């Protein structure tokens, strides 16, 4: 693995690792005041788990698609760079594909940090049925 590919991978993992998923924000209504924040967090977790089991996710498909697009684009750019620099089009294409694929995977993963609208609606409804009022997501 080249130094450039290693650097891109380390930066990519850092970006994905720092990303945090949004969570519902609850209005401090009577129900929330009665049950308390700890119970509310448990209810949010339960609703999120229920949503995860019932809302189909396209995350894997998107990450795979972005990885492939990045790899193909990276290979093309790498082949040209390798040929121009005298290191050979094949070596340049391999490095470009690895770097582009990593960048594409990061892009696909980063897009998935925010839950889908359907997932959010599912969690919102679940929480509403438990007596909470969701005012948004952060």
13-25 pLDDT per residue, tens: 444 445 558 999 9
| CA distance readout (Å), 89 to 74, 75, 77, 80, 97 | 12, 9, 10, 6, 12
DSSP string, 27-57: ---HHHHHHHHHHHHHHHHHHHHHHHHHS--
Burial of residue 59, with CB atoms counted within 10 A of its CB: 0-12 exposed, 13-18 middle, 19 or more buried:
middle
Is residue 95 included in any domain, yes or no? Answer: yes
Is residue 97 included in any domain, yes or no? Answer: yes
State which residues form the domain around 100: 22-137
Is residue 14 included in any domain, yes or no? Answer: no
Is residue 13 included in any domain, yes or no? Answer: no
Is residue 26 included in any domain, yes or no? Answer: yes
Is residue 133 included in any domain, yes or no? Answer: yes
Whether the pLDDT of residue 49 is over 70: the answer is yes
- Between residues 12 and 38, the one the model is more confident about: 38
Is residue 67 included in any domain, yes or no? Answer: yes
Is residue 9 included in any domain, yes or no? Answer: no
> Which token pair is 78?
């790498």
Q: Please indicate, yes or no, whether the overall pTM of this predicted structure exceeds 0.85.
A: no
98-116 pLDDT per residue, tens: 666 666 656 655 556 889 9
61-110 pLDDT per residue, tens: 455 556 566 667 666 666 666 677 676 767 766 676 666 666 665 665 55
CB count in 10 Å sphere of residue 29 = 12
Structurally, the chain folds into a number of domains equal to: 1
């Amino acid at each position: 693995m080249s130094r450039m590919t290693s650097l891109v991978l380390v930066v990519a993992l850092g970006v994905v690792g720092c990303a945090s998923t949004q969570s519902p924000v609850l209005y401090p209504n009577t129900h929330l005041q009665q049950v308390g924040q700890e119970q509310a967090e448990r209810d949010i977790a339960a609703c999120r788990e229920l949503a995860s089991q019932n809302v189909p996710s396209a995350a894997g498909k998107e990450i795979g698609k972005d990885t492939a697009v990045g790899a193909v684009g990276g290979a093309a750019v790498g082949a040209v760079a390798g040929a121009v620099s005298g290191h050979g089009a094949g070596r340049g294409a391999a490095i470009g594909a690895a770097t582009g694929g990593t960048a594409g995977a990061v892009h696909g993963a980063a897009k998935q940090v925010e839950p889908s609208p359907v997932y959010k609606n599912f969690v919102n409804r679940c929480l509403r049925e438990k007596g909470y009022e969701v005012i948004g997501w952060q």
